[in-house]
Amino acid sequence: MLLAPAGSGIPTIGVVGLGAMGGRIAGRLIAQGHVVHGTNRTRSRGNALITQGLVWRDTPRETAEGQDVIISMVTDDDALAKVTEGPDGILAGLVPGSVYIDMSTVSPHSSRALAERVAARGATMLSAPVSGSVPTAEAGTLTIIAGGQVDAFRRVEPILRQLGSTVAFVGDVGDALLVKLAINISLAVQMLAFSEGVLLAERGGVDRAVALEVMTHSAIGSPMLQTRAALLEDLPDKPWFDMAMMQKDLRLALESGREGGVPLPSTRVADEMLSTARAAGYEHRDIAAMFRVLSDAVVVPPGQSLGSKAS
């Protein structure tokens, strides 16, 4: 049983990391009636949530202390180390019996190592990376891929189902992250291929809106492409999933591929495209900006090198 305030029956939750996704997760949990304690590296990220009822804590340790469930959502391995380690980290605040859910997308080996340290504190860790974007986080329709001890998963499954419409238990903490990285390979490659196709049709004389409509309702029209198609024409200032974060995930996938002896040719192409996009100033724009990068690219005719002139 999860602990809860006397008579409430609702577990208390600590959330570390109140960025684009973590903040929306915290907000949804508050809306579902949970007492949510939270912290972030910059307090300004928590101001709107405080007005909704968030209990602000100054450190990850304070956020974890006394909570039934602790959730972290940060950018990468380094950020996860910063919020978990040291006298003010999550590990220092864990109590025996608590469940710590890391929803960040980090390397599988880092997650496994952290799970061992959590167990040494008498607590249990689940890795639960998410597939989705800002709108799906707000709507509570994320896909959540969970890994760890199955009994701990069953204890917190009701909470996860308040955040995601699809909640799947796939194995250990590292397994969950491998599945998440596998998803993001397709996310990046689909976005690149879709952008190429739209541009090919448009440059050949097809109206872009027509191409978008037909392509998203064809056999290739995945839910991701259907929701992101509009972003090709109206790129949002605030990204749903930016280029830098996507490339971080592809680099983790490439690392895992090397470790497992798995060739990832399309991942390498998408990674190169993301490097080009970031160099062109799109680092913190949504991955739909791949279309703009392709639109601005110089196409070198066959038999010529970049910079040569046609005779």
Which CATH number does the domain housing residue 266 bear? 1.10.1040.10
Q: Per-residue pLDDT for 306 more than 60?
A: no
Q: Given 112, 146, 171, which residue is the final one in a domain?
A: 171
pLDDT single digits (tens) 94-122: 999 999 999 999 999 999 999 999 999 99
54 and 164 fall within a common domain: yes
Q: CB-based contacts of 242: which residues, under 8 Å, 6+ apart?
A: 283, 284, 285, 286, 287
62 and 193 fall within a common domain: no
Which CATH number does the domain housing residue 164 bear? 3.40.50.720
Answer yes or no: is 308 within a domain: no
Answer yes or no: is 310 within a domain: no
140 and 182 fall within a common domain: no
* Stretch among 144-158, 258-272, 280-294, 296-310 having the lowest mean pLDDT: 296-310
Q: Per-residue pLDDT for 4 more than 60?
A: no
Answer yes or no: is 270 within a domain: yes
List the domain range (segments joined by +) for residue 122. 13-171
Q: How many domains does the chain have?
A: 2
pLDDT single digits (tens) 230-254: 999 999 999 999 999 999 999 999 9
pLDDT given at position 307: 43
Average pLDDT over residues 40-53: 93
Half-sphere exposure of 143 (CA within 13 A, CB side): 11
pLDDT given at position 9: 62
195 and 261 fall within a common domain: yes
Q: Per-residue pLDDT for 268 more than 90?
A: yes
63 and 115 fall within a common domain: yes
Answer yes or no: is 6 within a domain: no
pLDDT single digits (tens) 63-72: 999 999 999 9
pLDDT given at position 302: 63
**CB of 127 within 8 A of CB of 252?**
no
Answer yes or no: is 307 within a domain: no
Answer yes or no: is 28 within a domain: yes
Give percent of the chain with pLDDT exceeding 90.
87
Q: Given 138, 171, 204, which residue is the final one in a domain?
A: 171
Mean pLDDT over the full length of the chain: 92
Q: How far apart, in whole angstroms, are the C-alpha atoms of residue 90 and residue 71?
A: 10
Tokens of residue 300, six digits: 């070198």
158 and 190 fall within a common domain: no
